[in-house]
Each structure stands twice: as C-alpha cells, then as structure tokens.
Amino acid sequence: MDRFDDMRVFQTIARTASITATAAEFDVAPSAVSRRLKALEERLGVQLVHRTTRTLTLTPAGETYLAGTNDILDSVEHLEGGLQIGAGTLTGRIRLSAPFSFALTALPDVLKGFVDENPGVELDLQLTDSRVDLVGEGFDLALRIGELSDSSLIAKRLCPVTMAVAGPPSLIEQHGPFEKPADFAGAPSVVYTNVPNSHIWTFGDGETVTTRPVFRVNNGEMLREMSVRGLGFVREPRFILAPAIEAGQLIEILPETDWGVSRLHAVYPPMAHMPVRLRTFIDYLAGALKC
C-alpha cells in the first residue's frame, strides 16, 4: 500500500473503531490491518490509537492525523474526479442506503442506467427501513422519504411521494361507507413503525383522524400485504399500494382527498470536495427517478 492507502485504512479504523471491521471493508486479514497501523505509527514516530481488549480510540496525534488525511484525500478525490470528467470516465465506489419498498419499486432500472453510463463506478447498496448513521457506518449517500431530523446532513430534493389510503373490499363493506376522512375514526389500521403516531392520519390542510392500530411493522410491503388479508386499512405511499390496487386486492378510498405528500431526499454528510462520481450520481437520480 502507498501513503494514500495508509490514510484510507486509518480513516476506516477511526470510523469503525475496529480492526476487524476495517479488515472486512478492505477484504484483508485483521492481522494485516494491525501490521499496517503499527508500521504507520513507526514511520510517523507517534502513537495514533489507544488500544484495549474492548475499545480503540484515537490519541490527540491520531485526531490531528485524521483531520489532515480528510483534507488530503478530499483534495485528491476532487482532482482525480475533475480529470475523470475531462476524460469522460468515472471510477470508484458509491455506498448508499435506501428503503426496501422504494428501492425494489423504483431503483432497479435507474441504477442499471447509471452503471451502463458509468461502468467504472461500483454501486454498493444497502436496503434498510432504518435510518443509518452515514458517517459512522461509512455511507456516501442515503435516500430518505419523509421528514429529515438530522440537521447536520445536506439534503437534495428528488421527487414527491404521494400518500394514499386503501383497504380490501371485505373490510370496506364491514366498516364503510367512507364518505369523508373523519369516517376512519376508530377504524382498524395497519401502521408503519418507523413513523411516530402513524395511526393518526393527516389530510387536507393539516386535519387529522385517529384510527385504531391493530398491527405495526417497519416495512411498507408487509403493511400492504396485511391490509390485503383484511387486517386493517392502510395509509402509505401510493407506489407501494399500486400493485394491490391494480390487482383488485385493495380499493383506494377517497382518492380525491389530499392524504399528504412526502418528499424523497438524497442526504449526505458535508464535505469540502464532493467526489465527482457522487455529484454525478445525485444529479442522475434527480433526473431519472419517478416516485
């Protein structure tokens, strides 16, 4: 490894606080990472990390070295990215996180199109309905639907996500008719765990109706399937409900009602120089995604 590789390895050690996790990211043995760290400390003549059997933390010298490596590698990334643009080619890896249901519905064709145009870029996608720690877990980018709570991240709006309400014919017959949103008060509902108070449905100009939750889960497709089976009414993004509505398994209720519009964002940590491949990818998503 050269000095830039030493810096990248050290950055990963600092981020993961783990020799084993660093080794996994670089696909080498933990002993190889330990030797690399020891050689780096010997070359610099300072101790960069405190090691115990349970923890690994940076020394003051390690903190200083980490800050310097961030600046240097950001500058190198920016320089190389500019040259790649000039040569018409991009290289490197983009690690991103996205929600299961949205990714399975909207991303396959978009990601295939980006890779076709940029064959030198490797996409590393993790699907999760939980909000990952971008910096701590080493992600370049996350796609998120709904409110953004982490003000330290930069967000780019991508596309609107329209909400809808639906239920199976048997449940509508049992609890209907539904002539206005208020008619859902006390109706059984299946709700999304990752959104607080998701049994309280917002409509119109901020009005609400409180349903009776009978099932909770952290995945939109599972919500849809439980509603199809008659467990409760469901309010979630229309793109998730669409297959069941088109198949006649669910009926969209009060489609003329404004059940709210969320927004899909691309979020990423602040950086002095965004890698050109990442900026290009975000711009591609903004132009290609249809929510």
251 contacts 245 by C-beta, under 8 angstroms: yes
Of 85, 116, 139, the one marking the end of a domain is: 85
Residue 106 buriedness (CB in 10 A; 0-12 / 13-18 / 19+): buried
- 40 & 160 share domain: no
- 18 & 130 share domain: no
Of 66, 85, 104, the one marking the end of a domain is: 85
Q: Helix crossing, 220-228 with 238-246: angle to 10°? A: 30
Per the document, the length of the chain is 291
- 78 & 107 share domain: no
Check residue 225 and give its pLDDT. 97
The pLDDT-based confidence of 16 (bands split at 50, 70, 90) is: confident
pTM: 0.64
- 71 & 96 share domain: no
169-226, pLDDT tens digit by residue?
A: 999 999 989 999 999 999 999 999 988 899 999 988 889 999 999 999 988 999 999 9
- 188 & 277 share domain: yes
Residue 212: give its domain's CATH number.
3.40.190.290
**Strand partners for 11:** none
pLDDT higher than 60, residue 28 = yes
- 81 & 104 share domain: no
Quick one: which of 102, 220, 240 has its CA closest to 159?
102
**DSSP reduced 3-state for 290:** coil
Q: How many domains does the chain have?
A: 2
pLDDT higher than 50, residue 137 = yes
**DSSP reduced 3-state for 184:** helix
Instruction: Report how far residue 33's alpha carbon sits from residue 10's, in angstroms, rounded to the nearest whole number.
Output: 9
- 119 & 62 share domain: no
Higher pLDDT: 18 or 112? It is: 112
- 120 & 197 share domain: yes
Cα dihedral 119, 122, 128, 129 sign: negative
Instruction: Report how far residue 261's alpha carbon sits from residue 97's, in angstroms, rounded to the nearest whole number.
Output: 22
- 265 & 243 share domain: yes
Q: Helix crossing, 238-246 with 100-117: angle to 10°? A: 100
Check residue 97 and give its pLDDT. 95
Segment 250-277 shows an average pLDDT of 87
Residue 49: give its domain's CATH number.
1.10.10.10
- 45 & 169 share domain: no
Give me the domain span that covers residue 21. 3-85
- 47 & 101 share domain: no
Of 41, 69, 85, the one marking the end of a domain is: 85
pLDDT higher than 90, residue 234 = yes
pLDDT over 70 for what percent of the chain? 92
- 100 & 27 share domain: no
- The C-alpha torsion from 57 through 62 and 63 to 69, rounded to 10°, is -120
Segment 23-40 shows an average pLDDT of 87
Instruction: Report how far residue 127's alpha carbon sits from residue 117's, in angstroms, rounded to the nearest whole number.
Output: 23
